Structure 1
Amino acid sequence: MGHLQLAADIHGQRLQQARQLFFDRGDLPEGLLSPLILRSWERCQRFGLTEHNPLPGVESLDRVALKTEQDRNRHLLLQGRPIMEHVYEQIRASGSMVVLADANGLLLETVGDADFVDRADRIALSAGASWDENQRGTNAIGTALAEELPTEVLGAEHFLAHNGFLTCCASPIFGPDGRVIGVIDISGDYRSQQRHTLGLVRLSAAIVEKRLFESIHCRDILVCFHQRADYLGSPKEGLAAVSPDGQVLAINRNGLEILGIRQVDAVRRDFSIVFESNLSALVDRLRGNSQGSCEIGVNGKIIQVQLRGQLPPLAVAGRVYDEQALPRPVRKPEAVGAATLTLDTLNTGDARLQAAIDRSRRILGRDIPILIQGESGAGKEMFAKAFHNSGPRQSGPFVALNCASIPETLIESELFGYQGGAFTGARKEGAPGKIQQAHGGTLFLDEIGDMPLNLQARLLRVLQERCVTPLGSTRSIQVDISLVCATHRRLREEVARGTFREDLYYRLNGMSVTLPALRERTDIRQMVAKLAAAETINRAPVRFAENALRAIESYAWPGNIRQLFNVIRVAIALLDDGENVIDQSHLPEELFESNPQATNGSSIAPDPWMAAPLEGAGSLEEIGRQAAMRTLEAAGGNISAAARQLGISRNTLYRKLGKF
């Protein structure tokens, strides 16, 4: 701590000397400031700012004008808000705030500690205010936008003297087209600055960029690539959006850096030119394996490639779909592996789950919809897949759509499909919807309680008439589907509130089953054994010590099975070479808290940012690195403290971090 205070004192003295030279004498304080800060100070002078007086007439937007700007930046807010909230949870009670601003420096949304927010309001660091450099002087938000670089502005580095109590770190957010569309910032008191804040905002910006790219190009083929397979799915992976006819529509900054090319060399070029590979061959090779990857050579480099997004269907040349009644699909080879998850394999001894399985088994092969209810993470999609694989439609497709995760503006085309030219940005050849894709199989609508009212009427019509009409088309297409829905909401209460159609509720509720929350189940030990066995196929089996099993049984599991699965994966990843016993030291501290959440029956879904890397196809080695990095960050970079918290030696921790 003494070293940090000494460094802060030296920095403060250098800044005082720099300000005297620049503002009092008109000399350049070369060597006393970073070149980035000095460039900003010079720009501020050219703007007509002085250290004590901002430009006159700088006012915040009123509520109506702010709402207009928030609507204009709705995609940025939609993808950035969850990351903002997660970042704030990491810095809560540190006298800080998180800010999301647009490309002009207008603050769209803020979240922070009340005591600091009050101080920030006095200098207009609040939603509706502009922190463009030409109005507020040197500051992390405005300067990051001007430089298009991650920026840290500490104390008196701010051009305006009255902002000198701030320490701010910001990183620009780039859209899929490579242009800056916003900035994310963490601001706090200069006296409580943290070393890792700039790294945190850089990572946050990268995650927002990834979410934006995947959201905007969700209907395109997403080519994901990196030199290292374990970086696929991470914020560092390259992303390219490609049309079915092989044209590269967009590529992110990571992708350009990995390939060593410029954007003009990739966008609107043919896939084969940019990636030196045949798109059709790549799609055929990876189809049906969303987590699989393969190697290709580009510009003398070997890169790992994975395909996501919406792949073109098999046996279709030139059109994504044809408006005819679809033939019943034949059994695909990959469906055999999927059928290993059945209602029988789900049964691990819990009486309530057994009752749900028995009820569901009685309607297999019958044209009766099933409604699965239960808390988030309780295994509703797993149950739906098991139901599909246990019946006569197991050779057909299982198509899932989460009604809560797709923006309302996209869900209609996602569910019903569209004809070419149906709306601005639509593919010229059109696209099939999830209902068509599920023909001959099962359509699983997760979080059906979140479906917009206007689409509920269309879905009801499809269920009654057994045909679907894509957007922009006048022709109906016959479909044969089995419908399974799931929700964590009480649909009867939603019907009473008028947010869910009563006629659709009775149509969907052919049979209702409720899955017990994990904390209510009596078969937790059997589940732990089954999940651990599935995770150790490629390594020596592991077993759980009795103290670890008791801790797992006594915990409330607010994230249910999803949370348990992640805990088991991390515990296995933290084992040393030759170790095969998991004890309490391998489990997260939250399992031993005296008053865990969700004891009242509420459900808290795991944060997508924290859960996604552990739910992906990463190796156990990669999962171990992720857990080690998070613990090290939480320990402020202290290796000894992180090793103690993880229950491993310092050498083991260094080994797990060594390949990062």
Structure 2
Amino acid sequence: MDEKIFRLSIKNSHERCKKWGINVDQVYSRKILNEVELQKKIAINRELIVTSASYMEMLTEVTKEHEFFALLTDGEGCILNSIGNEKILSEAFAMKMVPGAFMDEKDMGTNAMSMVIRDKTPIKILGKDHFVKAYHKWGCCAAPIRDENKKIIGVLDLTGYAKHIQSHTLGMVMAAAAAIEDIMMTKQSNRLQDVTNKHIKTIFDQIPVALILSDVDGKIKMCNKKGLHMFGSRENKLKTSEMSELIEDWEEIRKSIYIGESVSQEVNIYALRNSFKCNLTAIPIYNSEEDVIEIVYTFEEIGKNSVKSKKAAQNCRAFYTFDKIIGEDENFLKIVEYAKKISDSKSTILIMGESGTGKEVFAQSIHNYSSRIDGPFVALNCGAIPKQLIEAELFGYEDGAFTGAKKGGNIGNFEMADGGTIFLDEIGEMPIEMQTRLLRVVQEGTITRIGSSKPISVDIRIIAATNRDLKKEVEKGNFRKDLYYRLNVLPIYLPPLRQRKSDILLLAKHFFKSIGKRLNKPDIKIPEQYINNMLSHDWPGNIRELENVIELVINTESIPTHYFREECCDMEPFIELKTEYLNLDYVEKQHLIKVLKKYRANITHCSQVLNITRNTLYNKIKKYNIDVTQFL
């Protein structure tokens, strides 16, 4: 900085100090943060502090012969860190030049840090250039630290006794500040790139077809979840990193890509599940110079998933998710978290619990929380299918396999669930002879249709459920011991409702709201004296029973005492309706809504049915603030 400009700048700063009311005999900053406020500052500027620390140490190490200390402030002048010679640093601390103290002009007068913040340029301040006398013995060199938008986010300062300040001291500080800026910007750039990559990967993974990205030499750079499922190993890794080892005749495809042609053809694929055919589309990606730099491949497996299979699986969807599971009981919430944790595992799950505890709800939620969410969810109640039909249901059959077999054959539940999840409810009811065949599926991942000797590979996640004690069934000889251990890899036990009493009212309120809305019934308030009865009831049918009872209450506005234990049977037979539902206006409004809905808000028809004039009907619609557009 030119000497005249520098002197004028110092003079102006001193004048401002007088206006701020700074006393030349002042020693301490007028603003020092308390511990809580300081910790917030440090948290906000943690990266700046960490990045600057090594450069501050370097500056004090280079100047250790002459006793210097380095300070780092934020963009407002608040000291964030101090490093240096113990002797001179103790003097600074005695003057409360400590983290949390503000060195800006309003609070500490003219100094190097305040001048940098004010003039936004590196500066060297010596002796009496400082406004307060306590600093006259020191010389300070400071430089700004800017972000990518050139905003000052910090100031780096090196302070020592004025006689030891050299001509190159400011240069060292400026170089250190510039280095800190570069590192901070590089980190920011890397963070932005990392965020961008994560966004791209997230989008990539949500695409419901198998995608692979490679460079022009076929080196695989990225593969989405669907691709990992199709080509990956049990460790969720691709079997290879080269497209030439994955696709037959890949060199021919690359030649087409090189001359700017997209490729769409049937190819043979080599993967963990042996060779199979796919429809392949390969599209080149160009840089700004129109050179091919990457190739995007999409794959759709053919042959295995026939049109018949796809149509059959269209209705095989899971609707429940973990966020729809109602409960606040501490142990129950731990079970939910455990279920989430194991959702993406390929191991079999055995869900145990009494009838009505929500076993299928958990199974669907696990499926929807896993990477198989886009695949089918096939549910089969093993106890609801006759013994002579269960084999055909599970494994399918070929044309003419038995008398009455459907022409062309039929796929079974395991094939239908390929790429997704099969839920075998009431597994304890499965006939012992079928358990042997199920064991083979669990062990080998293959099924064989009735009337065929050709094994078919299936990629499925098996979730079984039972309300029986399978250990006891094994002891009785009703359930295979080896199958039990194959299924019980990841056990989940759902507690009965009587063991999660705190959730009864929560569930009841949920069912009153959801069922009432579905049945277009008014809200019903349970009198306070009935709540204890609900909590003390055993609910042997668990959540299903509670839901059914509440639907009964909503429909009849009463609750039979036989749903409760004997000591609870002193309940009054009727649940109170809210007072507002007893007045005539409410009844009239509800009747108008029914008529408007039935005749799709045709005012002429509605007025005729109600035997009132059109104007009267309009007035009543206005009175009750009925939105007729919802009925059109």
Q: Which TM-score bucket, shorter chain as reference?
A: 0.3 to 0.5
Q: Which is higher, the Rg of structure 1 or of structure 2?
A: 2
- Normalised by the size of structure 1, how large is the TM-score? 0.38
- Normalised by the size of structure 2, how large is the TM-score? 0.39
